């Protein structure tokens, strides 16, 4: 098993564990909810004590690994690395549903990526396997004829989501697209 495959497998297991853990503790307030609750206290000294206590609990939760803070760039990197894998709970990490009735839901889902091509292999049946510079490996799953000259000269691959959980790949700016599945 390749290093990238192990990394994705561990990432998937971690997401599954987080989902189970979140369901089991659904009744308990989150560390951030405790901090936010302090804003409703009008007495200054009581509010300060509430904040001090809540932040202390939050810090302890971070130190023990029960809570981990990540920024948007880190989440985008995870989403990009996991592009092409079916992980139903993954989108919940990338979007916070708007609670206000005025705001529209965030439609910031990653729909396609473009990555430099490391190499392309073509088997005797004409099926291509594309190795990308970031370690991803994609294999053609349809019978579209990919010209060998196009495959030999390809510098970038653009992979986009298609219908029913499938993916389409285009090499460089050629019009030829073909269905692919991520292998690692």
Each of the 184 residues of the chain gets a pLDDT tens digit; together they read: 555 655 555 555 556 556 554 544 444 447 788 888 899 999 999 999 999 998 988 888 888 888 777 777 887 777 777 787 765 555 555 555 333 334 454 556 788 899 999 999 999 888 999 999 999 999 999 999 988 888 888 999 999 988 888 899 999 888 889 999 999 8
Measure the CA dihedral 3/9/11/15, to 10°: 180
The DSSP string of 58-124 is HHHHHHHTS-----HHHHHHHHHHTTTS--TTTHHHH-----SSSSPPP-----EEEEEEEEEEE-T
Query: Does residue 23 fall inside a structural domain?
Result: yes
Of 94, 128, 154, which closes a domain?
Answer: 94
9: Cα separation from own chain's centroid: 13
Boundary residue ending a domain (94, 129, 161): 94
Please compute, for residue 21, the number of CA atoms within 13 A of its CA located in the half-sphere on the CB side.
10
Quick check: is 172 in a domain? yes
Chain centroid to CA 73: 11
Tokens of 70: 């990540």
Same domain, 174 and 119: yes
Domain boundary among 66, 94, 122: 94
Residues 84 and 9 reside in one and the same domain: yes
Domain containing 86: what range? 3-94
Is residue 105 a part of any domain in this protein?
Answer: no
Q: Are strands 156-161 and 137-140 parallel, antiparallel or unpaired?
A: unpaired
* 38 neighbors 51 (Cβ within 8 angstroms): yes
Q: How many domains does the chain have?
A: 2
Task: Say how far apart CA 164 and CA 43 lie, in whole Å.
Answer: 55
Provide the terminal-to-terminal Cα distance of the chain, rounded to the nearest Å. 9
Q: Do 72 and 19 belong to one domain?
A: yes
């Amino acid at each position: 098993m390749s290093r990238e495959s192990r990394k994705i497998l561990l990432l998937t297991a971690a997401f599954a564990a987080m989902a189970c853990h979140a369901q089991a503790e659904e009744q308990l307030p989150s560390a951030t909810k405790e901090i936010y609750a302090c804003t409703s206290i009008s007495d200054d000294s009581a509010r300060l004590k509430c904040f001090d206590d809540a932040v202390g609990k939050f810090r302890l939760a971070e130190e023990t690994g029960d809570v981990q803070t990540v920024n948007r760039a880190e989440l985008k990197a995870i989403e990009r690395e996991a592009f092409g894998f079916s992980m139903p709970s993954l989108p919940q990490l990338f979007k916070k549903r708007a609670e206000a009735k005025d705001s529209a839901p965030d439609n910031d889902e990653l729909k396609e990526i473009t990555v430099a091509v490391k190499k392309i292999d073509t088997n005797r049946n004409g099926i291509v396997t594309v190795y990308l510079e970031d370690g991803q490996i994609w294999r053609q799953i349809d019978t579209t004829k990919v010209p060998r000259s196009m495959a030999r000269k390809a510098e970038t691959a653009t992979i986009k989501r298609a219908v029913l959980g499938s993916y389409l790949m285009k090499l460089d700016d050629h019009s030829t697209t073909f269905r692919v599945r991520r292998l690692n």
